[in-house]
Amino acid sequence: MAIAAAISLSLPLQTRRFSVASAAPLRSTSSLHFDSLRSNLSLKNPNFRVSASSMSIGTADKISAASFLDRRESGILHFVKYHGLGNDFILVDNRDSMEPRVTPEQAVKLCDRNFGIGADGVIFAMPGINGTDYTMRIFNSDGSEPEMCGNGVRCFARFIAELENLHGKQSFTVHTGAGLIVPEIQDDGKVKVDMGEPILKASDVPTKLPANKDQAVVKSDLEVDGVTWSVTCVSMGNPHCVTFGTKGSQNLTVDELNLAAIGPKFEHHEMFPARTNTEFVEVFSRSHLKMRVWERGAGATLACGTGACAVVVAAVLEGRAARSCTVDLPGGPLEIEWREDDNHIYMTGPAEVVFYGSVPL
């Protein structure tokens, strides 16, 4: 279900007033509709206020995504907010330029859940390079720029399908900091993504932990705050540290973890020169895993696509799971397959519109 909002924005500091009726995704039939949501919103205005007077179920007006985003008033950013299993992003149509329309500092403000739109990151749809159809760039909610985002690229695929007539084509190529990524929109609306090959060489992850299996770091000891964790390091273009628990312990119960306390200690650990995303994993069976994630640059999120891929790679390398798994995340499940024939990882999951909106920059 998509949530569509009718948003009235008044901009007291700039004495500008306009209203935006946000649109449902073109293919949606009915949606949760925020009626009379009125807000005073300005990213330049620290006194950001929102109040909702009523909420009802209804069929949202159908506005073309392309025409909505095509408005080019200067100083105004039109965006669509999407989520993939609760990992949420502000999608920006940047197809006319290789220069992001939002700076890292503005991204931090836009992502703020109290004073901004609220998101885990800002994603830019840009012209393709090196023969690809598109380029995807992303800023984390702390303003840093990661190489890749798995849930983000599923949202990106749905965003492109809304913006452009793909002439029945369901798949296209995307250049990212992690190389070539190929999403494919399935008939059920889910997106299956060829995420490429995992990188296991320690110095390329990167981690300073010494390699202990070929060039990889598998089931290695990592001391965090006086506790020895057992970790496997995997890059999906971006770095991941995967743990199934502390050294010699039984299966982890991930719901019991104090993620906010332990997560930052992994993220900023001296063994990870580019910081790291960290996945804490519980094994239900050889094809069913559960994880919680602390993301580099975003903190605890409801899902991480690259993280789920890294988890399956680590589980296979540690002999805990088969190559095809369902990975449960706080926001829902992802299907992950690490194929033996091409060494590529395939991730399948949903991507949904949350709302359309506009903000002054």
Ligand X SMILES: N[C@@H](CCC[C@H](N)C(=O)O)C(=O)O
For ligand X, the binding residues (CB under 6 A) are 87, 140, 146, 149-152, 238, 277, 295-298, 301, 304-307
- Give the Cα separation of 335 and 315 in Å (integer): 14
C-alpha pair distances (Å), 147 with each of 119, 138, 152, 268, 274: 18, 8, 11, 18, 11
| Nearer to ligand X among residue 20 and residue 195 (C-beta) | 195
Task: Name the one residue in this structure whose structure tokens are 């490429």.
Answer: 196
SS3 of 5, please?
Answer: strand
Number of neighbouring beta carbons within 10 Å of residue 277: 28
DSSP secondary structure letter of residue 110: H
Q: Taking the complex as a whole, how short is the minimal distance between the CB of residue 361 and ligand X, in angstroms?
A: 23
Q: Taking the complex as a whole, how short is the minimal distance between the CB of residue 354 and ligand X, in angstroms?
A: 16
Number of neighbouring beta carbons within 10 Å of residue 122: 29
| Nearer to ligand X among residue 150 and residue 245 (C-beta) | 150
| Nearer to ligand X among residue 31 and residue 232 (C-beta) | 232
Q: Which of 149, 233, 241, 325 is catalytic?
A: 149
Which of 187, 117, 127, 193 shows the shortest CA–CA distance to 155? 193
Q: Taking the complex as a whole, how short is the minimal distance between the CB of residue 89 and ligand X, in angstroms?
A: 9
SS3 of 258, please?
Answer: coil
Q: Taking the complex as a whole, how short is the minimal distance between the CB of residue 148 and ligand X, in angstroms?
A: 6
| Nearer to ligand X among residue 269 and residue 296 (C-beta) | 296
295 touches 120 (CB < 8 A): yes
Burial class (CB in 10 A: 0-12, 13-18, 19+), 179: middle
C-alpha pair distances (Å), 88 with each of 5, 197, 295, 312, 357: 16, 25, 13, 23, 14
Q: Taking the complex as a whole, how short is the minimal distance between the CB of residue 56 and ligand X, in angstroms?
A: 32
Q: Taking the complex as a whole, how short is the minimal distance between the CB of residue 185 and ligand X, in angstroms?
A: 17
- Angle in degrees, 0-180, between the axes of helices 305-317 and 150-163, rounded to the nearest 10: 140
| Nearer to ligand X among residue 146 and residue 357 (C-beta) | 146
Number of neighbouring beta carbons within 10 Å of residue 201: 15
Q: Taking the complex as a whole, how short is the minimal distance between the CB of residue 268 and ligand X, in angstroms?
A: 13
Annotation says 241 is catalytic = no
Strand pairing class (31-40; 3-11): parallel
Q: Which of 155, 233, 304, 325 is catalytic?
A: 304
- Give the Cα separation of 202 and 186 in Å (integer): 35
Backbone angles phi, psi at 256, to 5 degrees: -85, -10
| Nearer to ligand X among residue 157 and residue 304 (C-beta) | 304
Strand pairing class (277-285; 239-246): parallel
How far the first Cα of the chain sits from its last, in Å, is 29
| Nearer to ligand X among residue 7 and residue 334 (C-beta) | 334
Lookup: tokens for 104? 């890292």
DSSP secondary structure letter of residue 171: B
The residues annotated as belonging to the active site are: 149, 304
